[in-house]
A and B are shown apart, each in its own frame.
Chain A
């Protein structure tokens, strides 16, 4: 740990994630990136909405989707959002152990979500023969939900990497911004999921 970045209990900054210029830069940079991601997902949603009825005689959204699975996935991801809020709360309290604990719970919830998503895709492919190539609806569905799933995979790898890396080092002004930007990214994944479960699954079951 470098001398200048180690935290001295006598003069702790209020928010360790934004105490340095690097930290503020990372924080802003991630937010701006999320602005770009908004348009990325909007393009995917728009494509999905334009193609959601183009089933080409294959299974449609009413045939495929079930409420229970999506509900469980939603609760898992929403809860993981709250646990990451707790982790950041502990970070601001300079309680590194508890922060790691909450982030660990977040990772487990995220893994649970991912497991259900993989099961869901597997279920559609084996039980309905509904694949990426079945129809334009299939392509659009797997691309939109898959992009979100890809973000979850990347997020989890990122989290595990920084948790393992910093496990023995404790909280510093250098790694606090990393945890903080990760949490923002994770919330955004949740935001996208809220629209996916509403627009793709719920609306797909209604109409």
Chain B
């Protein structure tokens, strides 16, 4: 532990520390905390949806509120829960895995976090300011253009802010991985989680600009009277669908690839075997990313793109099953003949493989464009993407959190509670969503407020709601586990699992602010394992002990974000009264002024001196 953080400090000092921090581990932790908050929020929305659908013609909430619930559930879970939880883990773990002291752009990293948080909070402010967005998480035009009130405006500005933050995060990770790998850490020696972070960042880089443009067009149409989606003036609402899905489909891979990476880290450790087919795993990841950009129109088969376009997108979509299949078999082969240790991280991983495979198979089913006319906008599609997103991404996040918790917070999560949480969540998940395949095939459409009695949908919906509550209880147990561990848990050693293979397990838990006292020399894939096999219990340093250069903390990202948030409120309300333009210009002035201040002020950072480093014990 570093000297500073062992001293007791007041609440104000800690708050200031977090507001100004540029340390990738602290930012990662903040991402995880904020992501968990939004995950709970989205979960509550899901419960309300399921309560409404527990019996036929229920009147638990009004139709309008139901539309707001489904919109906010989808948007929150994708943009403000899953994405930040993954980015948080990438932020905290990836630099440790490549043997870096920090990310390439610590300042930008902090700005990205604050923008994401502001976007999420801004959008949720809409609940208290006249109603949340209600045009579905896909916000299809022309519905989203004519949707009354300010709900959709909050959607637009919230996503614009958080999207900018995510884009910065993506660029930051890319540069970090290219320039800051430790000596000997070649590309083909990088752990799979780092690889998937790299590829997911490439996807972020190319996918989010399409969303940015789509949101701008929607913003211009709603706020400034342009005619992109206005049929009367020659507009075309299909443009929104294309732009949204050019972003939206890669977004699915932005979420699932890092989850794949986490499973690829967990399986070798708890099977005590190196990852089977490392090279094919890397290339399968690249192939999935490449194909992932050319399949977006499979969300639009029923739009009427024509048989040629449908056929091309259909075949491309089915092709993705091949690299994904390669990965599934590699994971199975990794376990084959290994000395397998089953703990809660491993349970999530083992549960992921069949669950995700079901989602993949229904994926191929909906990829068949002719058959999709039957599945489209039914609960079959809901079941499909929840199998992929929950069975893949959420299981991955929970597995990853359990696995890296000691590295992040210095304490191992309680195993018993972890297993209880897993079983409740796992059973609840399948109860909730498996039955929805059949509800969909029976013709139950998605996004409907009520269903009628006597159509054979009653029992299925009841089972689904029961399952949702089991998932909720499972999540509560997980949160309880986190709380109880942070109060009572014992301090974890550097390598609490005993079989850690990658660099992050060679440094203390939690790592000191400079991560590596001396940068490690990497001699192959799974560098720590190599050293262990040769009888060294630690990495060989690649440099003598010397002063470490660190970046200074800064409050500017926070102020800049406040500026952009004020401007966003201004944009939303200037439709009602032009006095709100003051907020637009004022907010922008704050943001741009801060940017200028950052650009003009030299920030050389500071050094941790050799003498102080020598005093610290690992």
Contact = CB atoms under 8 A, between A and B. Distances in A.
- The binding surface of chain B is classed by DSSP as helix
Contact of A56 (B172, B214, B234): B234
A39 B171 CA distance: 14
Interface residues of B, number: 44
B487 interface: no
Interface in B172-229: 172, 174-175, 178-180, 205-210, 212-214, 216-217, 220-221, 224-228
A34 B230 CA distance: 31
B602 A174 contact: yes
Interface residues of A, number: 40
Given A28-B178, A161-B596, A135 B233 contact: yes
Contacts of A53: 234
Interface string A50-83: 1101111000000000000000000000000000
B287 to A, nearest CB: 19
B600 interface: yes
A40 B212 contact: yes
Nearest to B167: A36
B104 A25 contact: yes
A132 B217 CA distance: 12
A68 to B, nearest CB: 28
Contact of B233 (A36, A46, A136): A136
Given A21-B179, A25-B179, A54 B171 contact: no
A86 to B, nearest CB: 24
Given A35-B205, A43-B210, A162-B599, 10 more contacts: A35-B206, A40-B212, A51-B235, A54-B236, A56-B232, A133-B225, A133-B233, A135-B234, A143-B217, A143-B226
Interface in B239-281: 239, 242-243, 246
Contacts, number: 122
Interface of B: 104-105, 108, 167, 171-172, 174-175, 178-180, 205-210, 212-214, 216-217, 220-221, 224-228, 230, 232-236, 239, 242-243, 246, 596, 599-600, 602, 604
A137 interface: yes
Contacts of B167: 36
Contacts of A50: 236, 239
A32 B205 contact: yes
A43 B240 CA distance: 11
Nearest to A28: B175
A2 interface: yes
Nearest to A37: B209
Given A21-B179, A136-B230, A36 B599 contact: no
A138 B220 contact: no
Given A29-B171, A56-B227, A136 B602 contact: no
Interface string A135-174: 1111110010000000000000010011001000000001
Contacts of B596: 161
20 contacts: A28-B179, A29-B172, A36-B167, A36-B209, A43-B210, A43-B246, A44-B213, A51-B239, A56-B233, A132-B220, A132-B225, A133-B226, A133-B233, A135-B234, A136-B228, A136-B230, A139-B220, A139-B226, A158-B599, A165-B599
A161 B599 contact: yes
A47 interface: yes
A192 B604 CA distance: 35
